[in-house]
Amino acid sequence: MNTDKTRGLLCIWTNIEPEHDLDFNRWYDREHMQERVAIPGFQSARRFGAIGDCPRPYLALYYTDSLDIFQSEPYRRAFANQTAWSLENFTRMRGTQRRVGQLTLEAGAGEGGALALFVVPEATLRQPGVKARLQQMLTALTGQDHVIRTTLLETDAGLSTPVTADAVAAPSDALVMVEATRATAAHHHALALSESLGLPPGEVYSFQSLWRLAS
């Protein structure tokens, strides 16, 4: 995917108390996605559900024109004035990771029905040559069978303010995402990338697309 401007991304990766799972999904599907996409500068939103064991089985991605959107007055106003339904669900979310940052790499075309991801710790990301090598590998990966798209989100720690009770502030890490037409392909390639960086193999997670909403 080629864009004229580096896009911003808000990533919410979370678990939810089991007894509130249905209401959590109703909130996301009937209010929250629509509310966020209506903010000027937001382009689209996507939801994913984990395939297999995952400490945070729900993933939401919100794409924006640029990182500046998260410092705009409309976004500040929406962030400061959450709905009652939102505030209620924030108290039920567990282990939430909230990342706001730039998509410093977007390669490929379209969007895959399956997505695999892993976190690149700040210490690894800052090692000499790591980011450039990772970007090269991600770009090359889009030529592999079944792979549709790859992205690299670099977290802006200052903008990644926690919104849930038990969350901690995000470091300046990165999130690698591989999208494919098949979950096995997405996971296989994400795992190989992770291992090439010396990261733990058990921290690559797979998701299936639930739905997408565009502005």
* Count of beta carbons in the 10 Å neighbourhood of residue 2: 6
* Count of beta carbons in the 10 Å neighbourhood of residue 30: 10
- DSSP for residue 81: S
> 28 pLDDT band (50/70/90 cuts)?
very high
Q: What CA–CA distance (Å, rounded) separates 26 from 24?
A: 5
The answer to whether residue 213 scores a pLDDT higher than 90 is: yes
Calculate the average pLDDT of the chain: 96
> 18 pLDDT band (50/70/90 cuts)?
very high
Please provide residue 110's backbone torsions phi and psi, each rounded to the nearest 5 degrees: 75, -160
The answer to whether residue 121 scores a pLDDT higher than 90 is: yes
* Count of beta carbons in the 10 Å neighbourhood of residue 20: 15
Is the Cα torsion angle 162, 166, 169, 170 positive or negative in sign?
A: negative
Q: What CA–CA distance (Å, rounded) separates 43 from 27?
A: 20
The answer to whether residue 3 scores a pLDDT higher than 70 is: no
Q: What is the pLDDT of residue 36?
A: 97
Q: What CA–CA distance (Å, rounded) separates 117 from 186?
A: 9
> Hunting for tokens 């410093």 — which residue is that?
104
> 144 pLDDT band (50/70/90 cuts)?
very high
pTM of the model: 0.96
Task: Convert the pLDDT of each residue in 51-89 to its tens digit.
Answer: 999 999 999 999 999 999 999 999 999 999 999 999 999
CATH number of 8-214: 3.30.70.100
Q: Decide: 197 and 134 in contact? Cβ < 8 Å.
A: yes
- The pLDDT of 162-173, averaged and rounded, is 89
Q: What is the pLDDT of residue 55?
A: 96
Q: What is the pLDDT of residue 4?
A: 60
Alpha carbon of 161 to those of 79, 114, 154, 157, 169: distances in Å? 10, 28, 15, 8, 6
